[in-house]
């Protein structure tokens, strides 16, 4: 009995000691929940800027001009000095024709001029003599008027003979057919020994130092362009080279099947590498806008399948769904949703959501 009492007393003592030690230990502080995270960002204050709209499209290249060569007379080709596809220069001899017949015609024309000149001289002398006789009342007015009519007729015949001589001389010169332009031979339709007829096309030459690009734009873009505006052209057929171009004409009527408008560009092709039939990618420069709102592409993010931006309002990020225009390089025009003076977040968007606390980093564009 005594042992049991001692055991109970011992347990009680240990329990009291444990309680005393527990009360002397410092109280454990409750864990505090972290405060809201502050996003570090850089910003841009929206101001009016000059913007030139860029319209990208595709087209095809064609010759700006094609010259068809023919004769006004019949002749036999002696030599032909070109093939299809050959480059040619102004004044280069292409075809030589038989000159015998042309020489004979020129000789006859020159003799006709001499005869007509002699008749005119005789008629003028006769009229002068009759004029004196008429002044002396030695011939009638009718006789004098007849001499005047003879002189006018002789003069007309002389002028006709001169015109025939000029034509015969030109025909003789054209027995050597030369290229009137710099270009490339698109087609050949004459062979040595062949007799060609008047008006028969002998060859077609495409001017190559300037080509034309035909492209199309929608009704949304046609009024953003102007004749004389700049453009840039690239073609898979000429790698790693960009050509300057000029808007030559704008369509006034849409294609009924597509609703698009034709745009024609003149392209300087000094190296001659752009060829008829090639395809081209085109960047058209639109009309300049002086009060445009432009934002960097990097400021636009996707949130729940929407393209949005964030502006700063009272130290917090405010999500805005904007209306955007066509992108130009790294900038995008804003058509609605923002106003000049808004502070736009352009960097640090990875940790930004609507309502995020914002810390603008030093060096930010304000």
Return phi, psi of residue 131, to 5°. -65, -40
Q: Which residues contact 61 (CB under 8 A, 6 or more apart)?
A: 211, 212, 213, 235, 267, 274, 275, 276, 277, 278, 279, 280
Are 329 and 53 a contacting pair, CB within 8 Å?
no
In degrees rounded to 5, what are phi and psi of residue 14?
A: -65, -40
Looking at domain 99-172, which CATH architecture does it have?
Answer: Orthogonal Bundle (1.10)
Looking at residues 107-117, what average pLDDT do you find? 93
The answer to whether residue 23 scores a pLDDT higher than 70 is no
Please give the average per-residue pLDDT across 41-60, as a whole number: 89
Enumerate residues 6+ apart whose C-beta is below 8 A from 200.
70, 71, 189, 190
User: Rounded mean pLDDT of the chain?
Assistant: 85
CATH architecture of 40-49+292-360: Beta Barrel (2.40)
Separation of alpha carbons 246 and 243, rounded Å: 10
Sheet holding 75-80, edge to edge: 176-178, 93-97, 75-80, 195-196
Confidence check: pLDDT of 231 > 90:
yes
Rounded Cα gap, residues 185 and 105, in angstroms: 31
Calpha distance 214→41 (Å, rounded): 46
- Please give the Cα distance from 229 to 234 (Å, whole number): 17
Kindly report, residue by residue over 178-222, the tens digit of the pLDDT.
Answer: 999 888 999 999 999 999 999 999 999 998 889 999 999 999 889
CA distance 52 to 216: 19
pLDDT at 27 over 70: no
Domain ranges, ordered by start, for the chain: 40-49+292-360, 56-64+208-290, 99-172
Alpha helices in the chain (DSSP H): 2-24, 100-135, 141-173, 219-222
Q: How far is CA 15 from CA 7, 11, 25, 27, 296, in A?
A: 13, 6, 16, 20, 73
In this structure, the strands spanning 87-88 and 183-188 are antiparallel
Q: What is the pLDDT at residue 329?
A: 62
Distance CA 152, CA 148 (A): 6
Note whether 291 and 304 are within 8 A (CB): no
Q: How confident is the model at residue 12 (pLDDT cuts 50, 70, 90)?
A: very low
The residue assigned the tokens 């590498």 is 273
Segment 285-325, tens digit of pLDDT:
887 778 888 899 889 999 888 889 999 999 999 999 999 87
pLDDT in tens, 130-169: 999 988 888 899 998 999 999 999 999 999 999 999 988 8
* Low-confidence winner among 66-75, 224-233, 269-278, 357-366 (lowest mean pLDDT): 357-366
CB-count exposure of residue 126 (10 Å: 0-12, 13-18, 19+): middle
Q: What is the pTM of this model?
A: 0.56
State in words which class domain 56-64+208-290 has.
mainly beta
């Amino acid at each position: 009995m005594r042992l049991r009492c001692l055991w109970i007393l011992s347990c009680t003592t240990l329990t009291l000691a444990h309680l005393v030690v527990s009360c002397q230990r410092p109280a454990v502080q409750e864990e505090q929940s972290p405060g809201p995270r502050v996003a570090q960002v850089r910003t841009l204050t929206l101001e009016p800027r000059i913007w030139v709209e860029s319209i990208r499209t595709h087209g095809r290249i064609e010759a700006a001009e094609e010259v068809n060569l023919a004769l006004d007379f019949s002749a036999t080709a002696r030599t032909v000095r070109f093939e299809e596809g050959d480059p040619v220069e102004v004044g280069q001899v292409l075809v030589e024709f038989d000159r015998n017949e042309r020489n004979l015609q020129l000789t006859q024309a020159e003799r006709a001029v001499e005869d007509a000149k002699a008749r005119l001289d005789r008629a003028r002398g006769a009229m002068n003599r009759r004029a004196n006789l008429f002044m002396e009342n030695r011939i009638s007015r009718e006789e004098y008027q007849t001499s005047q009519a003879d002189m006018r007729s002789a003069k007309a015949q002389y002028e006709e003979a001169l015109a025939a001589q000029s034509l015969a001389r030109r025909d003789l010169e054209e027995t050597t057919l030369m290229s009137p332009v710099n270009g490339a031979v698109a087609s050949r339709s004459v062979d040595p020994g062949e007799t060609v007829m008047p008006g028969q096309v002998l060859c077609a030459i495409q001017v190559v130092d300037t080509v034309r690009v035909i492209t199309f734009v929608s009704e949304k873009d046609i009024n953003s362009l102007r004749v004389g505006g700049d453009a840039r052209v690239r073609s898979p057929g000429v790698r790693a080279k960009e050509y300057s171009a000029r808007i030559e004409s704008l369509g006034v009527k849409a294609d009924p099947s597509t609703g698009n408008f034709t745009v024609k560009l003149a392209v300087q092709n000094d190296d001659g590498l752009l060829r008829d039939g090639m395809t081209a990618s085109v960047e058209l420069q639109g009309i300049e806008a002086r009060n445009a709102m432009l934002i960097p592409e990097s400021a636009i993010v996707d949130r729940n399948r929407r393209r949005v931006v964030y502006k700063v309002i009272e130290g917090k990020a405010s999500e805005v769904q904007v209306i955007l225009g066509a992108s130009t390089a790294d900038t995008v025009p804003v058509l609605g949703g923002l106003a000049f003076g808004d502070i736009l977040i352009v960097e640090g968007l990875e940790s930004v959501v609507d309502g995020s606390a914002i810390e603008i980093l030093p060096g930010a564009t304000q």
